Amino acid sequence: SKNVSEEHLLAFYKEFSDVDYTNKYSNAIYHAVVNGYVNGYSDGTFRPNNYCARAEAAKIIYSILKGGA
């Protein structure tokens, strides 16, 4: 695991209006975004409490299997 600067984390938390350090999924979301598996929605949200649609799950699995973006 890489050491991540506080500045980098703060910039990340500003990327999505609905994810901050108190969110129980924030660590997993951070790593998924950094590794290119997901990128959130165009409105600046991640929607961590929503269900994942079948197409979204397929994209995530495909991204993981091919090694990210």
Scanning the structure block, which residue is given the tokens 């600067």? 5
pTM: 0.74
Burial of 67 (0-12, 13-18, 19+ CB in 10 A): exposed
Which regions of the chain are under pLDDT 50? Answer: 1
Angle (CA) 61-32-47 rounded to 5° is: 95
The token duo for 64 is 């993981």
How far is it, in rounded angstroms, from Cα 56 to Cα 69? 15
Q: What is the pLDDT of residue 4?
A: 66
